[in-house]
Amino acid sequence: MEFLIVTGVSGSGKSTAINVLEDIGYYCIDNMPPELISKFAQICNGMNDNIRKVAFVVDIRGGDFFLKLNDTVNELKTENAELKILFLDSSDDCIVRRYKETRRKHPLDEVSYGNIRKAIATERELLSTVRAICDYYIDTSLLSVAQFKDRMYSIFLENKDDFIHIDVMSFGFKFGTLSDADLVFDVRCLPNPFYVPELKQKTGLQAEVSSYVMKFEESQQLFEKLKDLIDFLISLYIKEGKSQIVIAFGCTGGKHRSVTFAEKLGKHLMNNGNKVRISHRDIEKQ
């Protein structure tokens, strides 16, 4: 029996996450009081193979019930339950914009006297403990709905405990960094294909661009050093029991150098037998 607690900042995408989990076979319960999770787990364990994966959305909407979440997590782990925590986050500005678009009230609207930013700050403080112990973390600030769903599928579809899942991503610094990345490497130090007229409108997915990026000695040396470092770090992450790692490469626009390095590293990690997903956040942006 696998149990997943979905929590995080209000407005960060928990509804979308639970829809994805339902699509891939999770039995999902929204706004579950933490104290009832253990009892529900006992019921599920007595149902043979009828229910194998359960996801609970637990967040600040539960009021005082939410404060019991840490006790519930400790209780389940003491009982050796298969328990993971997914924490969803987003920037303050993004959350404010989403609430304005939907015209909904924040769960802490009354205690913050209608000040949405104060409500967000209070919520972050209440969530800080569970944020520190989460197994999976996704920042949805700069992700489209489709990209967010892809991240969910890549983590939870065919997820295996003895396998670390690795996301290798590219992005453009001009569009903002990836705050949920474990490792971020800036490759803006390398020669930029953007200034080569015949390469400007192409991307690192095309051989002409990747060949240009990697033809320089500094590019080759940098990749070899990063490859050795990342291989070493992954072995430590696996030893530590980490379930997910996000590795990001950034260049100016997220089309050429970062894409080349993400593709090259992703293929290297796949050849080593790792479960890898390669994605390019800003490759279509102008």
Question: What is d(CA 130, CA 180) in angstroms, rounded to the nearest whole number?
Answer: 16
pLDDT tens for 39-78 read 887 777 666 566 788 999 988 887 777 777 888 888 877 7
Q: Is 110 helix (H, G, I), strand (E, B) or coil?
A: coil
Q: 183 with 247: CB under 8 angstroms?
A: yes
The residue to which tokens 């029991």 are assigned: 241
Give 250's pLDDT tier (boundaries 50, 70, 90).
very high
Instruction: For residue 86, give the H/E element and its range.
Output: strand 82-89
pTM of the complete model: 0.61
What's the chain's average pLDDT?
88
Give 162's pLDDT tier (boundaries 50, 70, 90).
very low
Give 2's pLDDT tier (boundaries 50, 70, 90).
confident
Structure tokens at 217: 């000695």
What letter does residue 72 receive in the DSSP assignment? H
Mark 167-182 as b/e (b = at least 16 C-beta within 10 Å): bbbbbbbeeebbebbb
Q: Note the pLDDT of residue 5.
A: 92
Domains of the chain: 2-156 (3.40.50.300), 165-280 (no CATH)
Q: What is the mean pLDDT of residues 173-201?
A: 94
Q: Is 3 helix (H, G, I), strand (E, B) or coil?
A: strand
pLDDT tens for 116-144 read 899 999 999 989 988 988 999 999 998 88
For residues 167, 21, 89, 145, the Cα torsion angle rounded to the nearest 10 degrees is 80
Which has more pLDDT, 185 or 105? Answer: 185
What is the secondary structure of 119-175 as a DSSP string? HHHHHHHHHHHHHHT-SEEEE-TT--HHHHHHHHHHHHTT--TTS-EEEEEEEEGGG
Residue 160 pLDDT > 90, yes or no? no
